[in-house]
Amino acid sequence: MDTFCITYNNWNPKKQKLREALCTLGNGYFGTRGAAEESSNDSINYPGTYLAGGFNRAKTKVGGRDIENEDLVNFPNWLCLSFRPGGGKWLNLEEVEILEYQQVLQMRKGILERKFSIKDQDGRITRIHSRRLVSMQNMHLAGIQWHLTPVNWSGELEIRTALDGTVINDNVARYRELESTHLKPLGTQVEKNNILVLQVQTTQSRLTMAQAARTRLFHKGKEIRSEFEANQKEGYIEQLISFKAEEGEKYNIEKIVAIHTSRDRAVSEPSQDACQNISRAGNFQQMLKDHIDAYKFLWHRGDIGVIGNKKIQQLTRLHIFHNFQTISLNTIGLDVGVPSRGLHGEAYRGHIFWDELYIFPFLNLRLPEVTRSLLMYRYYRLEEARHAAKKEGYRGAMFPWQSGSNGREESQILHLNPESGNWIPDNTHLQRHVNSAIAYNIWNYFIATDDKLFLSHFGAEMFLNIAKFWASKTTFNKKENRYEIHKVVGPDEYHTTLPGSSEQGLNNNAYTNVMAAWVLQKALEILELIKKSRKRELLGNLTIGNDELTLWKEISEKMYVPFLEEGIISQFDGYEGLQEFPWEEYRNKYNDIQRLDRILEKEGDTVNKYKASKQADVLMLFYLFSRDELQAIFKKLGIKFTEEQIKNNVQYYKERTSHGSTLSRLVFSWILSKFDEEMSWENFEKLIVSDFEDIQGGTTPEGIHLGAMAGSLDLIQRNFAGLEVGDHALWINPRIPPNIKAISMRVNYRNHWIYISVDKKKLKISFEEGWSNEVKIGVIDTLHTFQVGEAREFKLSPSRAKGK
Ligand code: BGC
């Protein structure tokens, strides 16, 4: 088994949409699903191409109301390539006999390969070997190469190559009642050298995309100059190339495509730039070479070796790969965030949620320049967030739960329950905790990189705005002498209101409250960290006076944290009054109860009534903070919180969580690692296959879950290799689980590249290169100073107790 490959040895129409998502190729600028070149949108296939940041808004009438949604647009399908023998039918795998079929995602090289032989209705056998790339080197380019052999026939052969802009957003069945046409055709033309050009524009955001394609035919290395015929209709252009094919001969068909948009940097006019790029691009082989080189560097930075478990190794690489398809070095400066479902499908409309919280830990230590760019996406939307806060009567900045083009709140007002067919009001936008996630990300980017310029300028400005928001969002409860936060929703989206209440939102979601206290504590710390002049500037510009700073300190020491009996943190006020959920009964009644909210709504009930969570909520605190950090936060709040309590809280909520989000297993795997290694591993195993096996039964074909993918990588580095990123040292305290032999990885800690390899007995560390000649690395509980070029080995004792 080559763990750099995902191999499918058959054509399976039922699984095709899942495979398309898993075989998506992208380069951080655009992504294209792994659909067959000859296919188009139907019940089996869904070709989709998505541009990072390529959004459009459209209105639909639902129940008499105008609903506006913003979608990541499915842009024209550039894949279109097919063939037919003279007088035959165009290739369709459903209509021929498939003699052999193999599809391989070659992750090391970033290539999708298909090899198949088919026999048509007239007994003609044709073999095709197709290879495809989305260039990691030149982000505007993509290419397909077909080696086609008429195995037992000679005669007229026709190739059809096209650019299809008549596509709509049709990947997600439950969105189908909503407006899904986002593209307006702008024109098609055939340019010099038989270059096809298609231009489209999004209907509302007026983003123009030009695609240019050149298809050439070679035989024995020589170009065959044959008959070209171009057909054009609105939004679609195709070329038919016909030639005389000889039995047993191999023909090489190459389609090179360039994609440019009005949203690009360094752009004059997209179609001119696309044509220019195509004419400069070499042939497929040359493109391939540059592309593979770019991948070499990416893997050098990003690979994680998992020795002794091929399945986990393969899926680890799949997760690294899809992170790179969505966010790579090409992403830098594109003014885009991380869509939670990648550039792989249309679920959640390509929106950006809080999932960066799970994604950045992997990125920070490998492509920190990319994290910085992704944080800038938030910075450029600070004004919109300030406006949102003001509109609701708050100060500072209130970032949206779902973000898209300009940082407006993009959460839907109504969503469709596919189980019942009902449209239901959606109040999940009250997840104000996204603000703390952004602050947390800023801080952790800084800790991992020591990027003081970023922190003192952009980072601090965002951080202080978020702190200001939290201070204005709290209310003082005189009786309790504590500050409270009302009308919010926590990460557990199942609970948006108390049963029977007409109010939206809940009071004192513990996770939200503690995070807000942390933000306020950290904001004060950051003000002491940055230069005095910058502090003066910021406080002046943001009109933050001494009173405000005093208030921040007070709130951070007096934030209310609700508790149930015996030291269990209450998820929110009123949680104690909810009913216990009959888990057993529902597990017996339904196969899959991950989406309890939908099941209960269909039954005329509501999940709001029960002590049943979609995903980790209170427990997020134990995921984001180490025991020591958390105890420090609680100490400031004047609350005693022991290790025993952590364990009891984990136990309490573990029994009340349905894991309706793939993020949930991730959090559980981490927090359980301290108390129950077996259960932790079970959760890790579920997590790592969640997309590959589509464990939610149909969600992966609508896009991969990038948070879960990147989170699984973070678990390997944080849990198994035991990395803890400190501000003075990188700490390593490994514990390799029984089902793995060893782990290796390269990390960039504060501009120092460090190679780590660890098995059950020893840990090897080498400090390869860095901005300074020294780096501090803590091994278990002892601090060491490494000189550049130095490599050391440490013995590990199996009985050692783990971490802080
Ligand atoms: C989860 C959220 C997550 C979103 C996007 C939802 O199902 O509940 O926490 O941010 O998916 O991944």
Please spell the DSSP secondary structure of 205-270, one letter per residue.
T--EEEEEEEEEEEETTEE---EEEEEEETTEEEEEEEEEE-TT--EEEEEEEEEEETTSSS-S-H
CA distances from 799 to 728, 760, 802 (A): 27, 11, 9
Q: How far away, in angstroms, is 789 Cα from ligand 1 center?
A: 43
CA 398 to CA 490: how far, in whole Å? 15
Tokens of 49: 């191409």
- From 344, 348, 664, the mutation candidate for ligand 1 (largest count of ligand atoms within 8 A of CB) is 348
* 758 neighbors 766 (Cβ within 8 angstroms): no
Protein residue whose Cα sits closest to atom 8 of ligand 1 = 661
Atom number, ligand 1, closest to the C-alpha of residue 707: 12
pLDDT, position 804: 41
What number does the ligand 1 atom closest to the CA of 428 have?
A: 8
Q: What is the dihedral of CA 221, 224, 228, 232, to 10 degrees?
A: 0
Strand pairing class (742-749; 730-732): unpaired
Is 548 labeled as catalytic in the residue annotation? Answer: no
Q: Ligand 1 within 6 A of 666 CB?
A: no
Dihedrals φ, ψ of 668, to 5°?
-65, -40
Q: Domain range for residue 20? A: 5-300
Query: Residues 566-606: pLDDT tens digits?
Result: 899 999 999 999 999 999 999 999 988 989 999 999 999 99
Pairwise CA distance, residues 659 & 682, whole Å: 13
Pick from 722, 716, 662, 671: which is nearest to 692 by CA? Answer: 662
In a domain, 549, yes or no: no
CB 494 near ligand 1, within 6 Å: no
Mean predicted confidence (pLDDT) in 667-680? 95
Question: Ligand 1 atom closest to Cα of 355?
Answer: 10
Contact 340 CB / ligand 1 (< 6 Å)? yes
Of 70, 346, 384, 493, catalytic: 493
Please check whether residue 62 lies inside any domain of the structure: yes
Q: What is the identity of the amino acid at 327?
A: I
Antiparallel, parallel or unpaired: β 774-779 and 730-732? parallel
Q: How far apart are CA 777 and CA 768, in angstroms?
A: 13
CA of 400 to the centre of ligand 1 (A): 14
Distance from the alpha carbon of residue 105 to the mean position of ligand 1, in angstroms: 27
Check whether 7 has a pLDDT greater than 80: yes
3-state secondary structure of 530: coil
261 is a domain residue: yes
Q: Is residue 597 in some structural domain?
A: no
Specify the ligand 1 atom closest to the Cα of 354: 10
**C-beta of 507 in contact with ligand 1 (< 6 A):** no
Q: What Rg do the C-alpha atoms of the chain give, in angstroms? A: 27
Q: Is residue 38 part of a domain?
A: yes
> Atom 5 of ligand 1 has which residue's CA nearest to it?
340
Does ligand 1 lie within 6 Å of residue 55's CB atom? no
pLDDT at 413: 87
Instruction: Find out whether the beta carbon of 273 lies less than 6 Å from any atom of ligand 1.
Output: no
**Is residue 159 within 8 Å of 81, Cβ to Cβ?**
yes
Q: Which residues pair with 238 in a beta bridge?
A: 162, 231
Q: Would you list which residues are annotated within the binding site for substrate? A: 354-355, 614-615
Centre of ligand 1 from the C-alpha of residue 678, in Å: 26
Closest protein CA for atom 7 of ligand 1 = 661
Q: In Å, how far are 149, 159, 215, 307, 696 from 255, measured between CA atoms?
A: 17, 11, 4, 39, 36
C-alpha span between 31 and 558 (Å, rounded): 47
Question: Residue holding tokens 């050298």?
Answer: 193
What is the Å distance from ligand 1's center to 425 Cα?
17
Give the mean pLDDT of 363-381: 98
Mutate-to-test residue for ligand 1 from 172, 326, 340, 702, highest number of ligand atoms within 8 A of CB: 340
Whether the CB of 356 sits within 6 Å of ligand 1: no
Residues with Cβ within 8 Å of 296's Cβ and at least 6 positions away in sequence, in order, are none
| Angle between helical axes of 510-529 and 434-449 (0-180°, round to 10) | 40
Q: In which element (H, E) is residue 274 found?
A: helix 270-280
Look at residues 275, 300, 325 and tell me which one is the last residue of a structural domain: 300
The encoded tokens of residue 337 equal 């965030």
- How far is 741 from 730, CA to CA, in rounded Å? 23
The pLDDT score that the predictor gives to residue 369 is 98
Count of structural domains, the chain:
2
User: Mean of the pLDDT values across residues 89-100?
Assistant: 98
Confidence tier at 565 by pLDDT (50, 70, 90): confident
Alpha-carbon span 72 to 6, nearest angstrom? 27
| Mean pLDDT, all residues of the chain | 96
Q: Residue 703: CB within 6 Å of ligand 1? A: no
- What digits encode the pLDDT tens for the residues 471-516? 999 999 999 999 999 999 999 999 999 999 999 999 999 999 999 9
Tokens read off for 620: 């997020």
Helical spans, DSSP H, in 341-451: 356-364, 368-379, 382-391, 434-449
Q: Tell me the pLDDT tens digit for each residue of 373-406.
A: 999 999 999 999 999 999 999 999 999 999 999 9
Residue 401: inside a domain:
no
Phi, psi at residue 436, to the nearest 5°? -70, -30
Ligand 1 atom with least separation from CA of 492:
8
Continuous segment of H or E residues that includes residue 619: none
Q: What is the pLDDT of residues 201-243, one digit of tens each?
A: 999 999 999 999 999 999 999 999 887 899 999 999 999 999 9
- Last residue within a domain, chosen from 300, 332, 364: 300
Q: What number does the ligand 1 atom closest to the CA of 340 have?
A: 12
Q: How far, in Å, is the centroid of ligand 1 from the Cα of 5? A: 29
Q: What one-letter code names the amino acid at 554?
A: E
Give the residue, out of 661, 666, 667, 704, with the most ligand 1 atoms within 8 A of its beta carbon, to mutate for a pocket test. 661
C-alpha to C-alpha distance for 634 and 481, rounded to whole angstroms: 16
Q: How far apart are CA 80 and CA 38, in angstroms?
A: 6
Using one digit for the tens of pLDDT, what is the confidence trace for 14-67?
999 999 999 999 999 999 999 999 999 999 999 999 999 999 999 999 888 899
Of 252, 281, 300, which residue sits at a domain end?
300
Distance 661 CA to ligand 1 centre (A): 6
On whether the CB atoms of residues 697 and 313 are closer than 8 A, the answer is: no
Which residue, 56, 527, 495, is CA-closest to 263? 56
For residue 360, what are the CA distances in angstroms to 357, 367, 686?
A: 6, 9, 21
CA dist., res. 98 & res. 110, Å (int): 26
Rounded CA-CA distance 177/96 in Å is: 34
Kindly state if the Cβ of 658 falls inside 6 Å of ligand 1: no
Q: 29 in a domain, yes or no? A: yes
Q: From the CA of 292, how far away is ligand 1's center (Å)?
A: 34
pLDDT band, residue 799 (cuts 50/70/90): low
User: What is the full DSSP assignment across 140-178?
Assistant: TEEEEEEEEEESS--EEEEEEEEEE------S-GGGTTS
- Alpha carbons within 13 A on the beta-carbon side of 677: 9
- Nearest residue CA, atom 1 of ligand 1? 661
Q: Nearest CA to 768 among 756, 785, 781?
A: 756
CATH code where residue 119 lies: 2.70.98.40
Distance CA 801, CA 780 (A): 10
pTM (whole model) above 0.95: yes
Q: What is the pLDDT of residue 615?
A: 97
Specify the ligand 1 atom closest to the Cα of 660: 7
Q: pLDDT at position 226, please? A: 80
With a pLDDT cut of 90, the percent of the chain lying above it is 96
Instruction: Please give the order of strands across the beta sheet that includes 236-245.
Output: 81-85, 155-164, 236-245, 227-233
Residue 25 lies in a domain: yes
pLDDT at 801: 42
Cα-to-centroid distance, 187 and ligand 1 (Å): 38
Question: In whole angstroms, what is the distance from residue 170 CA to residue 172 CA?
Answer: 6
Ligand 1 contacts CB of residue 358 (under 6 A): no
CA distance 800 to 797: 6
